[in-house]
Amino acid sequence: MNIKLQQIADLVEGKITGEGNLNISSLAKIDEAKTGELTFLYHPAYEKYFQTTKASAILVKTGFNKTRNDLTYVEVNSPEKAFFTLLRNFFSPQFPLEGIDKTAFVHPAAELGKNAALGKNVVISAGCKIGSNVKIFHNTVLLENVEIGDDTLIFQNVSIRENCKVGRRVIIHPGTVIGSDGFGFNPDEKGVYQKIPQIGNVIIEDDVELGSNVSVDRASLGSTVIKRGVKIDNLVQIAHNVIVGEDTVISSQSGISGSTKVGKNCILAGQVGIVGHIEIADNSILMAQSGISKSVKKPGKYFGSPAKEINTALRLEAHLRNLPAYAEKIKELEEQVKFLKEELKKFNK
């Protein structure tokens, strides 16, 4: 693909300094870019590569100090956002996928649209299982109620179990399971765990993206709900009856226990763990490796295990790092107190 730099500048509303008639073949990282490619510079950590990059053109912030004459500059308000806009509009990958792969199993109801529906432009890749748990009752096949909305892309080896619903423009990456049984067991009088039937479902709303090997458990009753615009990274566990609010993002290796409600526009960084039956306020940021043991009632940043408001957590961390010095200081003070007591005894005599 070759695109004129002027077309790129027009799309991102950028100002060109240099050769606007350049042909751009691809986008690249600043430290890996080659001749004919466009790169971008937005973070101070990457400024060290500016003098050595081999890119032909570079997206920079308006007012950038242009010290290289062999580069063509495109000045924009936000180089990072402009770069992502270009990726979406000119360089998005074209997946070699179409329709339903011959190795996928899709329940006949989903294909025929009787008790279920497949939308337009749905891609179901190799090895997928859609509504695969057919129930047999009195020798009658009960058709499953799986729904998959328009323009949804389901990659290899995804399982979507019975009665689950997937919205429009959803992307599900390989190995993810939608609608596996919730972790529901109850010990009997002998202490033997008996399985509690999980008879609810999972609802995935529009414009959701799920990474690889994500597990979204069906509800015991009702629905586990992933709301519109949620983005979930690889290796995330969503337990039964969880509700994740609109436009929330969840990073890898995080887990949300049953019946918890996560608000909208939240960020869960890597390895966040949340106990069950609590609520997380809208616009909350739960930082990496935090353990959330009670409801978060107001927006803000939280860190630690158990998690605390970020300023409190950082002060505690600072004190922890200083414990050896504190111990030495306390030892010194104890020696001084001991000395003063001895002196006081002498004085009283």
**Mind spelling out the 3-state secondary structure of 294-326?**
CCECCCEEEEECCEEEHHHHHHHHHHHHCHHHH
> What was the pLDDT predicted at 329?
94
What are the pLDDT digits (tens) for 149-171? 888 999 999 999 988 999 999 99
pLDDT grade for 133, boundaries at 50, 70 and 90: very low
Pick from 142, 191, 148, 188: which is nearest to 172 by CA?
Answer: 148
Residue 191 pLDDT more than 50? yes
Average pLDDT over residues 35-52: 95
> What was the pLDDT predicted at 108?
72
Rounded CA separation 347/98 (Å): 96
> What was the pLDDT predicted at 110?
62
pLDDT grade for 140, boundaries at 50, 70 and 90: very low
> What was the pLDDT predicted at 3?
93
> What was the pLDDT predicted at 94?
65
> What was the pLDDT predicted at 70?
94
Rounded CA separation 17/63 (Å): 11
How far is residue 113 from each of residues 106, 183, 289, measured CA to CA in Å?
11, 31, 44
Average pLDDT over residues 230-251: 98
pLDDT grade for 120, boundaries at 50, 70 and 90: confident
Note the pTM of the prediction, 2 decimals: 0.83
Maximum Cα–Cα distance across the chain: 104
The least confident of 44-58, 143-157, 280-294, 329-343 is 143-157
Using the structure block, give the residue that is written with the tokens 């001991």. 338
The amino acid at 95: F
Q: Is 240 a catalytic residue?
A: yes
Using the structure block, give the residue that is written with the tokens 């080659």. 34
pLDDT grade for 137, boundaries at 50, 70 and 90: very low
> What was the pLDDT predicted at 261?
98
What is the phi/psi pair of residue 312, to 5°? -65, -45
> What was the pLDDT predicted at 144?
57
Catalytic residue among 43, 107, 173, 240: 240
pLDDT grade for 95, boundaries at 50, 70 and 90: low
Residue 325 pLDDT more than 60? yes
What are the pLDDT digits (tens) for 261-283? 999 999 999 999 999 999 999 99
Residue 347 pLDDT more than 90? no
**Mean pLDDT across the chain:** 90
pLDDT grade for 100, boundaries at 50, 70 and 90: confident
